[in-house]
Chain A
Amino acid sequence: MKLREISTGSRIAAASPGAGTEAPPVKDDLASLRVVPARHYARWVAAAAVSVLVAQFAHGLITNPVWEWQVFRDYVLSETIVTAVGLTLQLTAYASVLGFLLGTVLAFMRLSRSPVLQTVAWSYIWIFRSIPMIVQLVFWFNLSALYERLGVGIPFGPVFWSIDSNSLIGTIGAALIGLSLHQAAYAAEIVRGGVLAVDHGQLEAAAALGIPRLRQIRRIVLPQAMRAILPTAGNEIIGLLKGTSVVYVMAIGELFYQVTVIYGRNGRVIPLLMVATAWYVVLTSLLSVAQYYVERRYARGANRTPPPTPLQRARRFVRTLRAAAARRNQPVVPLSLAGGRR
């Protein structure tokens, strides 16, 4: 495509004074010449080929009976599925919040001047990034085998109060702990990356002004770190949304588990997988839109003029269409006149 642009460039050069036979050597008249847009033949061929492939795929979606769209319709909004979607959302929300809270603490531990805190945080991240999520989840599921009772007391001394670990945690609790702890290890590195991306001068300025340490972090560092944190955090939360499907091994009634239960019963595997797919796509889309607006909020002050929102962009588009329509109803003004007026 680069070649194409170069040839466009040469065309303009040919139109410059004295170079072409028809171009008069007067500079002002250049404005009256008709501009011929470059033709991108390769682009057209590629577009056609891709269109055929897409059309084929869409045709298959509609005509292949194995998709069983009727079954999809029956289940996609059924009560079981909607409840399962709710649970998936809850697992995602709680694990994201807990994971990022713990992750933020770990990030600042790693950034602290205390070697003990640094080492503990580093080791946590090392361990929890090393264990596959599914292995960790099954561990938590079997916590009672490891510690039958959990209690409060003096370390290595007497225990004042204790409780059966199964009744304290439960299956969903175990899933949440597993997801959150796993998430925290990744979140810690994301937050740390964001904090490191903040200009050192910002911390110096805050310190020179005597702003208290916690306030420096909350008011000066984190809001600026968010610019670097958000794109990756968005990735992580979307990853977690789909990652919750792993807890089906613990027989928790989230979206994927329910889908497997239903197709285990009726054998309609493909349409039910499509039900899960559709919901994951919808939820991911919602998260992506939310991410866009959160990022926009934290971009305040980063640009001289903030970019328009999609809504503003749509309005602007409608306005240009209207203006174009209005212009079409007016008598045509020759281009040369517009150029000559300058």
Chain B
Amino acid sequence: MSDVTVDIEDVKADSDHVMVDVHGVHKSFGPLEVLRGVDLRVRAGEVTVILGPSGSGKSTLLRTINHLEKVNSGWISIDGELIGYRRSGGKLHELKEKDVLKQRTHIGFVFQNFNLFPHLTVLENLVEAPVSALRRPRGPSEEKARRLLDRVGLAEKTDAYPRQLSGGQQQRVAIARALALEPKVLLFDEPTSALDPELVGEVLDVIKDLAGTGTTMIVVTHEIGFAREVADTVVFMDGGVVVEQGPPAAVLDAPRHERTRAFLSKVL
């Protein structure tokens, strides 16, 4: 964490506004170095899709962005705010859990396995965080939750329990739950990998819809078609580093690196 030299206050409020800034991030689990110096910039309103073979560090990168994993070195900022640390007097102070939790309310996270709360109804799943983390009143939060459920096509499931829903429906609820906090950025960790093939489409449609409304998103996925259609930027990761990135047409159709070509030839 010693290499913080960039002035993170320096953010412009136009279309070049950098929403997510990942700078030189290293992360190891014991002797295994999973991220080996990752840099990534995501502008506000953009959709970034991260591709890469399993074990390339995509999920770990996503989890460092909302501080579910602590980085070993480097730094991450969201909308100009350092994640997990506070800068003062030439030092970085580690934030307390309470403050990290507050930062996470700006970062929506959608898990591969949905992780809905099974003992709460769909509506309670959506209302829980706004009420307890943002201290919003319950009534308006419920109303907003109903609107969000309507938006993901599950208006009639408000009182169902998660286990009474299909995988695709559960993941749509999970997306609505993340949206209930009105996050600045939405992170998707392989949102369709746990789904039956015929349910993948309904979840991707919801994510496409969100992309159309200018939500900033980072999506880790294996759905190349989705990347081609929705992404503004495709990032290809391998071995804990970003191998190449650019518009989907460039990265997917004319990859410059051998590793990207090898990966794409396997999955396409």
Contacts and interface: CB of A to CB of B under 8 A. Distances in A.
B155 interface: no
Given A211-B132, A303-B163, A201 B115 contact: yes
A212 B117 contact: no
A314 interface: no
A209 B129 contact: yes
B101 A202 contact: no
Contacts of A220: 117, 128
A303 B105 CA distance: 31
A22 interface: no
Given A224-B118, A301-B162, A205 B111 contact: yes
Contacts of A204: 68, 111, 115
B66 interface: yes
Interface string A184-198: 000000000000000
A301 B129 contact: no
A210 B129 contact: yes
A208 B104 contact: yes
Interface in A213-252: 213, 215, 219-220, 223-224
A219 B113 contact: no
A210 B120 contact: no
Interface in A283-305: 298, 300-304
B138 to A, nearest CB: 13
B102 A210 contact: yes
A44 to B, nearest CB: 42
B109 interface: yes
A contact face: mostly helix, strand, loop, or mixed? helix
Chain A interface: which size bin?
20 to 34
B111 A201 contact: yes
B166 to A, nearest CB: 11
Interface string B100-130: 0111110101010101111111000000110
A301 B121 CA distance: 8
A209 B119 contact: no
Contacts of B129: 209-211
A207 interface: yes
Interface string B160-204: 011110000000000001100100000000000000000000000
Chain B interface: which size bin?
20 to 34
Contacts of B113: 201
Contacts of A304: 163-164
B145 to A, nearest CB: 13
Given A224-B118, A301-B163, A304-B164, A209 B111 contact: no
B98 interface: yes
A172 B129 CA distance: 45
A96 to B, nearest CB: 23
**Highest count of chain B CB atoms <10 Å: which of A207, A212, A220, A301:** A301
A208 B69 CA distance: 11
28 contacts: A201-B113, A204-B68, A204-B111, A205-B109, A205-B111, A205-B115, A207-B101, A208-B68, A208-B104, A208-B109, A209-B128, A209-B177, A209-B181, A210-B101, A210-B104, A210-B105, A211-B128, A211-B129, A211-B132, A212-B132, A213-B97, A219-B128, A219-B132, A220-B117, A301-B118, A301-B121, A303-B163, A304-B164
Interface of B: 66, 68, 97-98, 101-105, 107, 109, 111, 113, 115-121, 128-129, 132-134, 161-164, 177-178, 181
Given A206-B117, A208-B107, A210-B129, 10 more contacts: A204-B68, A204-B115, A209-B105, A209-B109, A209-B177, A209-B181, A210-B103, A210-B134, A210-B181, A301-B162
